[in-house]
Amino acid sequence: MRPLVTTRPPAAGRRARRRHPHVAVATAALTIGALAAPLGATAQAAPPAASAPPAAVHDLTDDAAPTGWATANGGTDGGAGAAASSTYLVSTRAELLAALDNDGRRTEPKVVYVQGVIDGNERADGTLMGEQDYAPGYDLQKYLSCFTDAGWSDAAHDYCGDQRRKRQTGSNNLKRQTEISVPSNTTILGVGADAEVRGATIMLHLAHDVVIRNLTVEAPRDFFTSWDPWDGEQGAWNARFDAVSSVTSTNIWLDHVTLTDGRFPDSTAPIGPSGKPVNFHDGLFDLKDGTDFVTMSNSRVEDHDKAMLIGSGDDNADTDEGRLNVTFVRNAFDGVTQRSPRVRFGKAHVVNNYFRASVNDPVSPLKPGAGYFIGVGVESQIVSERNVFDYVGPGADASVAVWGAGGAFVDRGSWFRMRPVDLRSVLPAEITWGVDWDPADVYDYQVLRSPAAVKAHGKHLTGPILPVRAPRGAVVPAVS
């Protein structure tokens, strides 16, 4: 069996992969066979029952590397090779921003260890900003009262024009405060199981070679959600900010990350005049405008509506055609109602992921016909391979696995409720069965071959479980 991490030599003109001196971990014995093996290892033993917790975590070595599309284009190793002076330990927003600036050398290799919880709403003095700090006088209920049967009207009340302006000002101020720009050649590592960035957007814009591992990212709460009458047949309330967003960036690896709505699930959002919830959140991991060579592995995506959008529009062939290539391997999608992921234009490999949803989920219910797991968009080519789709409740059936139009899809050996499923039989007519690419022609990988192994991995070996510690001498940035 081929190893999961490619062993091909770098092509002429490409730089050889650097080793990863920045991942300092306690060694863990591999006592649960295939489930505990790192992505590049070969399975040796049968997995335990899906209900059994793991006895150990990954044996993470210094040259841990991604699989999938992130191995292409020269590979992805983030800040590997960073000097000691560019190895940081941060615990506040101000320290994180300073570390990413890297003393003015933003694009040189850097490694940033995150300790504890960093809040994007945090001021320099440690206090947190809220709605009234971003837009004094803004009142959501007043804003909502300005909608008439014909839509928004400045004339509905004497305060409507002022509320409209305050909403826009507040949205822009929130963006400036909470967007954390990550430059090229960066690794961000969470220390232990409780490292978290919350209330912020991790933004990759024109970045190359970024690694984010062992971290929880709670999506920012948008206080200033706007109404879009053209979204869907009946319109929708759209939040502005993602948890992680990539715009025109290349070679990205997310591993052992949890992406979640966290403290503010959209199930608690107020209901607008349209009868639709005024959602707090946009996407959890969106890739746009020609982003390419991305892998997400061993991660959790939890309790969210529209989780991951790959390509932001059907008319963006000029920027997206031939790009937006992404691998999702051994992740858990738990309580997600749509877009796990939804893909336009790109070649996507969705392999060994565990999808769980319930018609009666108290936080994020997935009603029959109202959502889906894998979305096949215009000119996309998706290979689904040995995934487990675990959807339960009245009316739940295998058609939830795939939805869309204008793209191509094929499935190899997946399961619905732990039994083999023929996804071709439930494929919408607007989707072509069969693709013209094979992941094995691009990178080497291996698969877990039983539904019990995939489910157990998704339940027990995803999210920030790696025993990462910061090295001695890591720099705590000086901030004013």
Positions marked active-site = 339
* Among 25, 126, 169, 20, CA closest to 82: 20
What gap in Å lies between CA 219 and CA 293, rounded to an integer?
23
Distance CA 187, CA 209 (A): 9
Structure tokens at 146: 């300005």
Cis, bond preceding 38 (omega within 30 deg of 0): no
Q: How many CA atoms lie within 13 A of 49 on its CB side?
A: 2
Burial class, 380, CB count within 10 angstroms (exposed 0-12 / middle 13-18 / buried 19+):
buried
Q: In angstroms, rounded to a whole number, what is the distance separating the alpha carbons of residues 114 and 120?
A: 13
Kindly write down the DSSP assignment for every residue of 128-184, as one continuous string.
B--HHHHSTT--HHHHHTTEETTEE-TTSSTTHHHHHHHHHHHHHHHHHHHEEE--S
- Cβ-contact 280, 267 below 8 angstroms: no
Round to the nearest angstrom and report the end-to-end CA distance of the chain. 54
Q: Are 385 and 411 in contact (CB under 8 A)?
A: yes
DSSP 345: S
Helix (H) or strand (E) holding 260: strand 250-260
Q: How many CB atoms lie within 10 A of CB 63?
A: 15
Nearest alpha-carbon partner for 306 in 223, 230, 203, 236: 236
Q: Phi and psi at residue 179, in whole multiples of 5°?
A: -80, 120
